[in-house]
């Protein structure tokens, strides 16, 4: 107690702004077009930087092996983040998350990405949350 008053309760992660862990790895809630686009590009730039670094190194060096492992072992994280962001973007359009599989079908992936980048989300609340860029229920 301070001056006879109870200390303020922590708002915790569910009451404040959602964090990057939710943005890249959570499947609940909705995200709008611009955060999806920027979130999509960030891992691509990281991967491009690693590939560029690999391209500059001799293949028989230890550093090449290190960056090769970084690339291979980070790929599942990037895949998971693309799935999570895609599901949340579909939720913003009020489409069920399993439709995200279209992003991995070569014949329709480019069209599906363009739809996710350009199609406006549902105004107001929908089946997947009250507001965009937040987990459901927060």
80-105 residue pLDDT tens: 999 999 999 999 998 888 888 888 88
- Cβ(91)–Cβ(129) below 8 Å: yes
Q: What's the confidence (pLDDT) of residue 4?
A: 58
The pLDDT of 53-72, averaged and rounded, is 94
**Looking at residue 16, what is its pLDDT?**
63
Q: What would the mean pLDDT of 30-47 be, rounded to a whole number? A: 94
b/e string for 13-36 if b means 16 or more Cβ within 10 A? eeeeebeeebbbebbbbbbbbebb
Residue 38 confidence (pLDDT):
95
Query: Are 68 and 88 contacting, i.e. CB atoms less than 8 angstroms apart?
Result: no
Domain spans, the chain: 27-118
Q: Which of 4-18, 37-51, 93-107 has the highest mean pLDDT?
A: 37-51
Tokens 């399993």 identify what position? 98
Report the Cα 90 to chain-centroid distance in Å: 12
């Amino acid at each position: 107690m301070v001056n006879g008053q109870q200390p303020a309760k922590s708002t915790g992660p569910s009451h404040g702004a959602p964090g990057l862990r939710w943005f890249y790895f959570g499947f609940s809630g909705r995200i709008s077009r611009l955060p999806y686009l920027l979130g999509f590009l960030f891992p691509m730039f990281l991967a491009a930087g690693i590939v560029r670094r690999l391209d500059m190194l001799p293949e028989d060096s230890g550093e090449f092996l290190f960056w090769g492992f970084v690339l291979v072992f980070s790929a599942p994280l990037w895949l998971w983040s693309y799935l999570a962001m895609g599901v949340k973007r579909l939720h913003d359009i009020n489409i069920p998350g399993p439709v995200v599989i279209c992003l991995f079908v070569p014949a329709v992936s480019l069209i599906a990405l363009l739809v996710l980048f350009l199609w406006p989300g549902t105004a107001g609340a929908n089946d997947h949350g009250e507001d965009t860029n937040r987990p459901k229920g927060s």
